[in-house]
Amino acid sequence: MIPAPFDYVRAGSAEEAVALLVEHGDEAKLLAGGHSLLPLMKLRLAIPSVLIDVGRVHELSFIEEQGDEVAIGALTRHHDLETSSLLKEQVPMLPYIAHQVGDPQVRHRGTLGGSLAHGDPASDLPAAILALGGTLVAQGPGGRREIAAVDFFKGFLETALAPDEMLVEIRVPKAPGAGWSFQKFNRRAQDWAIVGVAAVVNGTTGIALVNMGSTPLRATAVEAAVGGGASVVEAALLAAEGADPPSDINASSEYRRHLATVLVRRALEEATS
Amino acid sequence: MTMGAGAFSGKPVRRVEDPALLRGEGTYVDNLKIEGMLTLHFVRSPIAHATIRSIDASAARAMPGVVGVYSATDLAFPPAPALMTLRPGAVRPALAEDRVNFVGDPVVVVVAESRALAMDAAEMVEIDYEPLGAVVDMEDALSPDSPVQYESIGSNVMIGLRSGSDDPLAGADVVVRGRFENQRVAVVPMEGSAIAVDPTGADYDLTVHLACQMPHMIRGVLSGLLELEPDRVRVIAPHVGGSFGGKHLSAEGVVAAKLALELGRPVKWVETRSENMVALPHGRGQVQYVELGLKHDGTMVGLRCRMVGDAGAYAGFGGILVLGQTKIMAQGVYHIPEIAFDVGIVVTNTTPMGAYRGAGRPEAAAFLERIVDMAADELDMDPVELRRKNFIQPEEFPLTTVMGAEYDSGDYEVALDEALRISDYKGLRDEQAQRRARGDRMLLGIGLACYVEVTGGGEEFAEVEVHDDGMITVKAGTSAHGQGHATAFAQIAADQFGVPIEQIRYVQSDTARVARGGGTGGSRSVQLGGTAVLQTSKLVVERAKELVADILEAAPEDIVVTGDGSVGVAGVPSKAITWAQVARTASERGAPLQVQHDTERAGSTFPFGAHVAVVEVDSETGRVVPVQHFAVDDCGVIVNPLLVDGQVHGGLASGIAQALWEQFLYDADGNPITSTLAEYAMPSAAELPSFTTAHTETPSPVNDLGAKGIGESATVGSTPAVQNAVVDALSHLGVRHIDMPCTPERVWRAISDARIGTLPDPWREPRTEMAAFPKEGASEEELERGAESVNL
Ligand SMILES: Cc1cc2nc3c(=O)[nH]c(=O)nc-3n(C[C@H](O)[C@H](O)[C@H](O)COP(=O)(O)OP(=O)(O)OC[C@H]3O[C@@H](n4cnc5c(N)ncnc54)[C@H](O)[C@@H]3O)c2cc1C
């Protein structure tokens, strides 16, 4: 319950954080809301020797319009997503999903950037950004670069971020009239999803799956089927195609596949109704 | 306001305990600061079953702030106490000696200046283990081939015993059979185990601050283990953050006490949540093979139970409950003329088993109410009618059951009728039929459970004193750990003295301040401690009346307690004196107004009730949502309905949790896989339905209050009601049983199996080893064991 000893430094800006990452190399970890990192440290499953606290880089906590997109600072807390009137108007699925994350305490500490950078396939917000077709902005020693959400998640808890890069901004397309649905299946209100489905229907269809493999996933077979004119029921049967869901104490792989088909069908029905 | 008889008793008086708790003024062990106190941290086994080859603690000893590092070879610790011994020779050392028997078994203890330093040093202890095969499944442990935990005993079977009727199913037209798992659950009190031991006080060799339920009993046990005079040891149970049967003197507690003596310094151990999940004894853990024989008309003919009880590692005392409370309550609320009850109690390489809310009675109600529902399905009878047909009738009490229990009083049909009324049972059945006819996705399940359980039994101590300032101190030998005795007992006393609640000061849970006591467990406190307070208050009032008669020169029989805090001549307001004056006069005459009193031994009481649970089952996903719960619990005469409903609400949460969510699981090697609250699915308020509670009040004849226990009843009734509701939702598909917890996947599988015709048989024969156990009648010893296990 008590983490191994570590050094603590606080970064005042993204530049400073990146410089500290360069300085400390592999030993260091960024600390945002701490709600994924600290539990691992308390169980001594993560033992970073330096923590670079970016929790007070206030310039990276914002939600603002940028042309056709809404830009969100990486340090924006889940609670701020939940209550943003701009998002409720332009990307209503995001506040809705943020509201399903953990409990109020988690939502007041956890950040969107932390959730994405952690890359947990069981998390809700990565699926949201995937389904929305978002863009992630990383800042490294050489400046900023953009990464499409579909290219961001590389493996279990592994992302496209380089060790000396920090995620600074997330952009999602405005879509005030889009159909959308989020289906989170769990046993208790504060739990992670056993399976979750985020669907956005806006000319094209974007569907992302929670906890159906080692990374947050797009349900590409379903998307293609819908694009090709298949009915919702038919398309939903393809929900688990290409997925490799885990078996754990909450569900077998087989049951997850079944849930995915049910939840994708419900999501499509709701998003297109 | 006029006080006196009945002014407070029976009324929903608000808890006097809460203001301090709400203001953060709790006295929990971890809040205690003692100058120079050291902290303990345990190095625990990461392997379920292994011999210890070597321990190297040199690096840990050299760490800054470390005062000492001890294994069983470094210091002679007394053994860990067993509340009940399953089998001579099945002892547990306080620290593992040559082998470890479960993941979490403490092997080494680090003593350091702070908790963080102790934890850092613990990481430096090197222990070399040689794994032995582990036995995790209790039925596997019946096998002579399973890796043996106690070489000296030579078998993992601690008790194997057959008893009762030789042919209980003879004469039955129909026999229904089920194999039911009553799964292992964790107790999960909000506060984990905690102990602080101070050897530096002037008046005692040891002062022990322990989160526990029975401080006096623990003083006796601990002083015996440490070879100290009992009156040189003081045990205090401060505020305790829930216990539910779980908190007694643990192995770690014995280590703490021994080290305090050894080092001559105060030491503290406060469990982390991670430790709590594997170190605090678990509860339940039975596999039940149950067969019920009936006539075509639904009359019960006989019951055959073959039960396996998991004792966990070191023959945890919870293993005995199957032979105690589960057995004694096997007959439940029904006439069942013949019962056979065979038991195998085994050790496994898992967390030791202990008592958890209900301790053996929920397990009894669970199998009986499950098999009765299976019978109703088989006979195509309404489950209400089948139950009604077999109820023990009110005029039959007191009644000695086939199992030897002495039921005190009851009216099972009244409770059932009330449950059916408040739940609109008929309306629910109509709604269910409509949903089925429409082919709705959301299926409705209606579950019923009628139960009787056993509480209390024994004697209790109280002391009541009126002080010169008119304040009245009430002490009882029970020990509340959340229940609200300070409120309930003050109500009882205030009525006798005709004073406001605020005039009562309540003292408990400290062996230095309360002469003796049985503590709190088995829902005993109001019926025994409350009765002790009532009787003792009456004795004080009698003495006061004599004194006042003397002062006022009146006849003692004319003296009454007035409604305004005085004692005086009946009907003559001018001839009365206040309690303060009475007390002062008593002191002046050399005999302060104080009485200590022990109640006579009382028999157990048998609370009962009927629950109706309503669930919705999503037929596509198997997800179960409990949507309503109606609980009618009869705990005899109620002292405070607010406290009773608090107990019922908590009990319902525990009971529903077992039916739908909670299960403590291990992998095949004995590694716990639900040891955090992320995996161990304890529900919160968000998952639970709104509760509708009601009470019938059938007085118990065995105590002056007419009260029965209520701390565990709702747990007993709710679990089978909810499980039955889940099965009921699917009964039209042919589903007859789903084991607990009824997880979405299990329910989905039952639905899909039913659709494709591959439903598994809910029955299979138990392992053949059971048949070879020796046959015994209900021996004295067994009955005693049964009686002993009441008070957990
Ligand atoms: C009890 C509980 C319940 C939860 N339930 C849910 C749930 O239902 N659904 C859900 O989606 N999540 C859930 N979470 C996770 C929660 O949403 C976390 O807050 C989130 O996953 C991580 O965000 P954070 O800001 O706390 O990141 P941190 O824990 O601070 O960091 C996580 C990782 O990301 C890295 N990191 C953080 N910020 C950046 C950045 N800007 N650039 C690069 N790397 C960065 C860190 O170095 C670390 O490796 C739960 C957490 C808890 C404790």
pLDDT band at B783 (very low <50, low <70, confident <90, very high): very low
Residue B784 has pLDDT above 60, yes or no: no
Q: Does domain A179-271 have CATH number 1.50.10.150?
A: no
Of B219, B213, B242, B255, the closest CA to residue B93 belongs to B255
Burial of B763 (0-12, 13-18, 19+ CB in 10 A): middle
A258 contacts in chain B (CB < 8 Å): 748
- Work out the minimum CA distance from B686 to partner chain A, whole angstroms: 6
- Work out the minimum CA distance from B681 to partner chain A, whole angstroms: 7
| A188 closest CB neighbour out of B123, B673, B683 | B683
pLDDT band at B781 (very low <50, low <70, confident <90, very high): low
Residue A133 DSSP class: T
| A190 closest CB neighbour out of B120, B621, B684 | B684
- Would the CB of A167 count as within 6 Å of ligand 1? yes
Substitution candidate for ligand 1 out of A29, A37, A94, A144 with most atoms within 8 A of CB: A37
If you count residue pairs, one on A and one on B, with CB atoms under 8 Å apart, how many are there?
A: 53
List domains and CATH numbers for chain B: 18-25+460-599 (3.30.365.10), 33-133+193-240+247-279 (3.90.1170.50), 283-456+604-788 (3.30.365.10)
Q: Which residues contact B438 (CB under 8 A, 6 or more apart)?
A: none
Cβ pair B743:A187 closer than 8 A: yes
Which residue, judged by its Cα, is nearest atom 12 of ligand 1? A123
pLDDT at B790: 40
Q: Which residues of B672-692 are buried (b: 16+ CB within 10 A; e: fewer)?
A: bebbebebbbbbeeebbbebe
What are B425-465's pLDDT values in tens digits? 999 999 999 999 999 999 999 999 999 999 999 999 999 99
| A249 closest CB neighbour out of B123, B673, B748 | B673
The DSSP annotation for B456-473 comes to EEE--EEEEEE-TTS-EE
One-letter amino acid of B68: G
pLDDT at A3: 87
Q: Domain spans of chain A?
A: 7-53, 62-173, 179-271
pLDDT at B777: 60
Among all chains, which residue has been given the structure tokens 């709705």?
Answer: B440
What are A131-166's pLDDT values in tens digits? 999 999 999 999 999 999 999 999 999 999 999 999
pLDDT at B787: 43
For residue B428, the CA-to-ligand 1 centroid distance in Å is 44
d(Cα B722, Cα B445) in Å, to the nearest integer? 9
Among all chains, which residue has been given the structure tokens 């107790």?
Answer: B187
Ligand 1 atom at shortest distance from the alpha carbon of A38: 29
Question: What CATH number does the domain located at A62-173 have?
Answer: 3.30.465.10
B119 contacts in chain A (CB < 8 Å): 1-2
pLDDT at B756: 96
CB B290 within 8 A of CB B304: yes
pLDDT band at B791 (very low <50, low <70, confident <90, very high): very low
pLDDT at B588: 96
B residues 118-137 closer than 8 Å to A (CB):
119-120, 123
Among all chains, which residue has been given the structure tokens 């470390």?
Answer: B66
Q: Can you read off the two tokens belonging to residue A92?
A: 């209503």
pLDDT at B789: 44
Cβ pair B120:A1 closer than 8 A: no
What are B5-53's pLDDT values in tens digits? 678 999 999 999 999 999 999 999 999 999 999 999 999 999 999 999 9
Among all chains, which residue has been given the structure tokens 């670079």?
Answer: A52
CATH topology of domain A7-53: 3.30.43
For residue B560, the CA-to-ligand 1 centroid distance in Å is 69
d(Cα B485, Cα B500) in Å, to the nearest integer? 16
B residues 601-640 closer than 8 Å to A (CB):
620-621, 623
Partner A contacted by B63 (CB < 8 A): no
Point out the residues of chain A with pLDDT beneath 50: none
A190 contacts in chain B (CB < 8 Å): 684, 686
One-letter amino acid of A261: T
A5 contacts in chain B (CB < 8 Å): 120
ipTM of this complex prediction, to 2 decimal places: 0.95
Q: Are A62-173 and A179-271 in the same CATH fold? A: no
Of B611, B616, B292, B277, the closest CA to residue B442 belongs to B616
Rounded average pLDDT over B660-669? 98
pLDDT at B786: 44
pLDDT at B392: 98
CB B428 within 8 A of CB B614: yes
Q: CA B391, B394, B395, B398: dihedral to nearest 10 degrees?
A: 100
Angle at B336 between CA B331 and CA B342, to 5 degrees: 60
d(Cα B683, Cα B435) in Å, to the nearest integer? 28
| A249 closest CB neighbour out of B679, B748, B749 | B679
**Residues of A at the B interface, defined by Cβ within 8 angstroms:** 1-2, 4-5, 43-44, 185, 187-192, 194, 249-252, 255, 258-259, 262
Rounded average pLDDT over B482-501? 97
Which residue, judged by its Cα, is nearest atom 17 of ligand 1? A110
Ligand 1 atom at shortest distance from the alpha carbon of A124: 11
Substitution candidate for ligand 1 out of A30, A31, A124 with most atoms within 8 A of CB: A30
What are B265-320's pLDDT values in tens digits? 999 999 999 999 999 999 999 999 999 999 999 999 999 999 999 999 999 999 99
Q: Can you read off the two tokens belonging to residue B699?
A: 């007085």
Cβ pair A258:B123 closer than 8 A: no
- Work out the minimum CA distance from B61 to partner chain A, whole angstroms: 18
Q: What is the mean pLDDT of chain B?
A: 96
